[in-house]
Homo-oligomer: A and B are copies of this chain.
Amino acid sequence: MADTGAAAVRDLVASATIFASTVNDLMEERLQAVAGGRVTFAQLKVLTLVGRTEAPSVSDIASFLGISTAAASKTVDRLVRAGFLARTAATDDRRTVELSLTRNGARLVSRYEAEADEALSRTLRQASPGEARRTASLLDRLSLMLIEATDGNGACFRCGIHFRANCLLRNRSEDRTCYLHLGERPDLAPSPGGR
């Protein structure tokens, strides 16, 4: 019949949705194992981003995570009160706030990352690397098609917590700003085997 292709695409959308949400469930579970209720998953995303960029502002966080500056501001406030994040007024433009991890915040992030990496690779070790790469490549092409057809704003691709040193999409699209890439810390720059 004529719509075989459309049906295949709909199935793929469903599969990708289920896969993404299943991975998310696993990550949240690992976070609870490490943090024991001290931070939510949304808060961990903020901590992770701050840890990987150079003194980001509240607006940077909002843009990167695809949420409003209001939401980012409130989340930052809770993390500061909990002792995981520190606020500093920027010296050059005193409207902006520079954020950094406290020692506790940095420890939490690195413990979570080790735990999540371990859980993911232990569980998905049967996946063939070649197949995984081809699949990622197709999904990226489809994402690009969708993004070009939709809006024109220059926000990033919203990988959320799943940072890639060499973002496959960033390399293919010139008109999107990657907030992680812009503010990347020297010591966390892409390196062989680095994460």
Interface residues of A (CB under 8 A from B): 1, 3-26, 29, 66, 117, 120-133, 135-143, 145-147, 149-151, 157-160, 162-164, 167-169, 192-193, 195
Contacts and interface: CB of A to CB of B under 8 A. Distances in A.
Task: Say what secondary structure dominates the interface of chain A.
Answer: helix
Contacts of A10: 117, 120, 162, 164, 195
Given A13-B162, A193-B1, A145 B169 contact: no
Contacts of A9: 120-121, 124, 127, 129, 132
State the 8 A-B residue pairs at the shortest beta-carbon distance, nearest first: A14-B162, A15-B136, A20-B20, A8-B132, A15-B139, A8-B129, A5-B129, A6-B121
B147 A11 contact: no
